[in-house]
Amino acid sequence: MIANPIPWPNGARCACAITFDMDADSLIHISRPKDGHDRLYPISMGRYGPTVAVPRILDTYRKYGLKQSFFIPAWCIEQYPAAVESILRDGHEIGHHGLLHEDPVETRGERQQKAFETATEIHQKRIGRKPRGYRAPVYNVTQQVIDLLVANGFQYDSSLMADDIPYLMKTPSGTLWEAPVHWGTDDWPPFAHYAEIDYMMPVKAPSEGLKAFWEEFDAQYEAGGFWIGIWHPFLTGRLARWRLVDQWLEQTLKTKNVWFAPLEDIIAHVAKVTADGSYSPRVEQLPYYTRSQLG
Ligand SMILES: [Zn+2]
C-alpha cells in the first residue's frame, strides 16, 4: 500500500520515532505577550513537561534502550537546563523548534530570520552543535523557513504532510529531507485543553486517545513504513497516558520487528540508501507557489 517502501536497517519492518516537542510554558508567553508571565495555571501546565514528564519519559527510554528526538524552543533550552542536560546525557537528539515558539506564518521576513538564527546560536552554545532537524511551531513552515533550513545546512524538516514516509524536497537553492507528520499521531487533538490559545477539545480517556496512534502504527507496520508520534511532555507525559505508552512499548519491542531511532538517524539512513542507489525517494519540488492563486 506504500508505493516505494524504504529498506530499513537489519530488515526491520517499520521505522519508528516518538518525537516530543518540549514547549513547556513558551506557549502562554508567545500567545499572551502582555500578561502571560502572570497566568500561573497555564505556566504550571507547561512546566509539568520539563520538570515531571521528561524524567519519566527518559526513565522509560533508558529501560528499553531507546534513543529518540526532542524538539525544543531555544527559550526553553535556556529556561530548563536540567531537562536539557538529562536528554543529552542519555544520547537523544534535540532539534530546532523556534526561539519562543513563534509561528512562522505570523513572524515573517526579518523577524523570522532573526528568531531562527538566535535560536540556532543558542543550540550551538548550550548543546554544542548546530541542530540537524527542525520542526515548525504549529507545523507552520513557510518557504522562507525552508530556505533558511537549506542555507544553514539542516538535514531535515519534520512539519509537513505530503507522504507517509520520508521524502526529499528540492528547492532552487538545495535539498532537504522531510520526516512527515500528520494530525493522526499528534497528541494535541485528543489531549490538549487550553482555552488561552483557543483550543477546547474534550479530553479523551488515555486508552481512547492513544488507540488512534496504535492504529496508525498497525497500518505503517503492515505497509513497511514509518510511524512517528508528535507528542508533548505535558500532554502524553502525564501519568495515566505514559503508563499505557510504556506498556505499549514493552509489548511492541517484544513482538514486532521495529527500528526505533532518532529522526536524524532515520533520515541519515534514507539519505545513505538514496546515495548508494539502492533506494529512490519521492521528490516534492518547492516552492509550491510563488504568488496568490486568487488571480
Ligand atoms: Zn511546539
Residue 292 lies in a domain: no
**pLDDT (tens digit per residue) in 252-263:** 999 999 999 999
**pLDDT (tens digit per residue) in 228-274:** 999 999 999 999 999 999 999 999 999 999 999 999 999 999 999 99
Q: What's the CA-to-centroid distance between 21 and ligand 1, angstroms?
A: 5
pTM greater than the 0.85 cutoff: yes
Check whether 92 has a pLDDT greater than 90.
yes
Residue 145 sits in which domain range? 13-285
Check whether 129 has a pLDDT greater than 90.
yes
Residue 1 lies in a domain: no
* Confidence (pLDDT) at 179: 98
Task: List the CATH number of the domain containing 260.
Answer: 3.20.20.370
Residue 137 lies in a domain: yes
Residue 6 lies in a domain: no
Q: Give residues whose Cβ lies within 5 Å of ion ligand 1.
A: 21, 23
Residue 249 lies in a domain: yes
Looking from the CA of 36 toward its CB, the CA atoms found within 13 Å total: 16
Using pLDDT thresholds of 50, 70 and 90, give the confidence band for residue 41. very high
Residue 50 lies in a domain: yes
Q: What's the CA-to-centroid distance between 103 and ligand 1, angstroms?
A: 9
Residue of higher predicted confidence among 295 and 22: 22
Percent of the chain predicted with pLDDT > 90:
97
* Confidence (pLDDT) at 199: 87
Residue 111 lies in a domain: yes
Check whether 201 has a pLDDT greater than 90.
no
How many other C-beta atoms can be found within 10 angstroms of the C-beta atom of residue 215? Answer: 12
Rounded Cα–Cα distance for residues 64 and 59 (Å): 9
Q: What's the CA-to-centroid distance between 138 and ligand 1, angstroms?
A: 6
Across the range 63-83, mean pLDDT stands at: 98
Check whether 200 has a pLDDT greater than 90.
no
**Helix (H/G/I), strand (E/B), else coil: 239:** helix
Q: What's the CA-to-centroid distance between 72 and ligand 1, angstroms?
A: 7
Q: What's the CA-to-centroid distance between 57 and ligand 1, angstroms?
A: 17
Q: What's the CA-to-centroid distance between 259 and ligand 1, angstroms?
A: 25
Q: What's the CA-to-centroid distance between 276 and ligand 1, angstroms?
A: 35
**Beta carbons within 8 Å of 229's beta carbon, 6+ residues apart:** 17, 18, 19, 185, 187, 213, 236
Q: What's the CA-to-centroid distance between 139 and ligand 1, angstroms?
A: 8
- The three three-digit cell numbers of residue 7, written as one number: 529498506
Number of domains in the chain: 1
Residue 139 lies in a domain: yes
